[in-house]
Amino acid sequence: MRSIYTKFALEQKTGAGKPAGVFVMDKKTTKDVAGQVVGRVKTLQGKELDGFMGQYFERTWDHFDVNQQGRLDVLDMPAFMKYIASD
């Protein structure tokens, strides 16, 4: 989680442009992180990893982004990674 907060999460801004303390993940960044996690957990790489992500990422994203906002709260990331890497 520390890595997700420090390296990948995007902090939302207030109306005045100041940091709001609310961290989110967009779809592209989430896909990159999920690829790293799945690759490590399932020991997949190359075409196998691409095939796995092609098959499971979109449905996992849709499962979590129920309001179709194009972003998820960073606190959803542990559940997201567990869900996508489950058998």
User: Would you give the DSSP letter of residue 17?
Assistant: S
What are the pLDDT tens digits along the chain (87 aa)? 788 888 999 988 988 989 898 999 999 999 999 999 999 999 999 999 999 999 999 999 999 999 999 999 999 999 999 999 996
Q: Which two tokens stand for residue 29?
A: 């960044």
- Write down the pLDDT at residue 6: 86
Compute CA distances 63 → 14, 16, 58, 60, whole Å. Answer: 28, 33, 9, 5
- Write down the pLDDT at residue 2: 85
In the chain, what are the domain boundaries?
26-85
